[in-house]
């Protein structure tokens, strides 16, 4: 339709968009979309601002009948060719659309003209209305024009249910109970088969677990120990490491640098003594007290056992 009278509807007012019946408006309001009209001098185009990005929401109306003729669509970036911040949408249709459109063109012209005659309210009066009244006015004008000009066809429902709704629900429950009873009959008919199959599955699982233990013992001793102790490996992820050096302290954040620093620390920070102590007195106090002889036991307790046997002439 032509709509010689253009009616702008500003929906971003908080008292309108906050109502739950306007889901799109409420979404825009909850995501901090605010009408930023000073960014554009036009009174008919709404510009919106969110997260320091100024955008404009445009509506592209398309008839569902065009889907069968649609070939492809692209968004053309105007760059420096235009002063507008809009990117046009270029759509390619099949040539057969022209033949179909020419046949229906007079009909749509009559519909547009009739709808324009129904929209006779001045824009100033329209702007003073509530948004509900605005939408109802446009909706009633479009519907009245469609009923007056566009052809209509009545579609009847030829399907009549053969059974009452309550009886269909009972039949579904009855079929479900029949399936359950069938499963119970099978379970009662083959109890031994079910029991033997379950035992075979348990035996197979145990044997497979034992074989995996034996294989891990030969190939992966670490996995064998973890499985035997029923423990799982836990990791500590280091995302930063600070090296407290006297002259050049550093903070490492790269994963490779952190890995190298951890390996170097555990290899060199704690030296390993490969020479064992020669006497108990060389051990630390904790171990010296654990390995020293007890005062309550005589040191000569084993002398009789270690002394050589006497030779006796028989």
Lowest mean pLDDT among 36-45, 158-167, 210-219: 36-45
Q: Which residue has the higher pLDDT, 86 or 8?
A: 86
What pLDDT, on the 0 to 100 scale, is given for residue 8? 46
Average pLDDT rounded to a whole number, residues 67-93: 68
Q: Which residue has the higher pLDDT, 133 or 105?
A: 133
What pLDDT, on the 0 to 100 scale, is given for residue 247? 85
Lowest mean pLDDT among 37-41, 72-76, 247-251: 37-41
What pTM value is reported for the model?
0.26
Q: Which helix (H) or strand (E) holds 195?
A: helix 191-219
Average pLDDT rounded to a whole number, residues 203-218: 88
Decide if pLDDT at 219 tops 50: yes
Decide if pLDDT at 207 tops 60: yes
Q: Which of 219, 256, 212 is nearest to 238 (CA)?
A: 256
Is 115 exposed, middle or buried (CB count within 10 Å of its CB: 0-12, 13-18, 19+)? buried
User: 3-state DSSP call for residue 50?
Assistant: strand
Which percentage of the chain shows pLDDT scores above 90? Answer: 3
Give the model's confidence band at 178: pLDDT under 50 very low, under 70 low, under 90 confident, else very high: very high
Lowest mean pLDDT among 63-72, 178-187, 244-253, 259-268: 63-72
What pLDDT, on the 0 to 100 scale, is given for residue 101? 59
Query: Tokens 């799109």 correspond to what residue?
Result: 24
Identify the top-confidence range among 137-151, 228-242, 259-273: 137-151
Angle among Cα 217, 223, 227 to the nearest 5 degrees reads 95
Q: Which residue has the higher pLDDT, 83 or 41?
A: 83
Domain locations in the chain as residue ranges: 14-149, 165-212, 233-266
Structure tokens at 80: 């420096």
Q: Which residue has the higher pLDDT, 250 or 50?
A: 250
250: DSSP letter = E
Rounded to an integer, what distance in angstroms lies between the CA atom of residue 161 and that of residue 163? 6
Identify the top-confidence range among 29-43, 58-72, 85-99: 85-99
What pLDDT, on the 0 to 100 scale, is given for residue 34? 46
What pLDDT, on the 0 to 100 scale, is given for residue 26? 58
Rounded to an integer, what distance in angstroms lies between the CA atom of residue 36 and that of residue 46? 7
Q: What is the mean pLDDT of the chain?
A: 73
């Amino acid at each position: 339709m032509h709509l010689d009278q253009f009616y702008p509807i500003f929906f971003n007012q908080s008292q309108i968009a906050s109502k739950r019946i306007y889901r799109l408006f409420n979404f825009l309001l909850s995501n901090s979309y605010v009408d930023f009209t000073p960014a554009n001098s036009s009174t008919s185009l709404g510009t919106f601002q969110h997260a320091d990005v100024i955008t404009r929401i445009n509506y592209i109306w398309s008839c569902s009948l065009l889907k069968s003729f649609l070939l492809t669509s692209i968004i053309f970036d105007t760059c420096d060719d235009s002063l507008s911040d809009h990117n046009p949408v270029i759509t390619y249709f099949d040539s057969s659309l022209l033949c179909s459109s020419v046949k229906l063109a007079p009909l749509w012209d009559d519909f547009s003209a009739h709808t324009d005659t129904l929209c006779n309210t001045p824009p100033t009066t329209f702007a003073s209305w509530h948004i509900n009244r605005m939408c109802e006015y446009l909706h009633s004008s479009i519907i009245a024009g469609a009923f007056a000009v566009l052809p209509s066809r009545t579609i009847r429902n030829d399907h009549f249910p053969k059974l009452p709704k309550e009886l269909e629900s009972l039949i579904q429950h009855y079929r479900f109970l029949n399936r359950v009873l069938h499963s119970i009959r099978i379970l009662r008919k083959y109890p031994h088969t079910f029991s033997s199959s379950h035992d075979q599955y348990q035996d197979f699982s145990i044997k497979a677990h034992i074989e995996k233990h034996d294989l891990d013992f030969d190939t992966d001793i670490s996995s064998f120990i973890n499985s035997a102790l029923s423990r799982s490996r836990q990791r500590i992820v280091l995302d930063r490491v600070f090296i407290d050096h006297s002259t050049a302290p550093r903070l490492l954040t790269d994963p490779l640098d952190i890995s190298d620093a951890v390996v170097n620390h555990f290899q060199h920070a704690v030296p390993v003594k490969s020479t064992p102590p020669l006497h108990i007195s060389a051990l630390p106090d904790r171990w010296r007290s654990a390995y020293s002889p007890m005062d309550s036991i005589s040191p000569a307790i084993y002398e009789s056992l270690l002394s050589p046997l006497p030779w006796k002439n028989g």
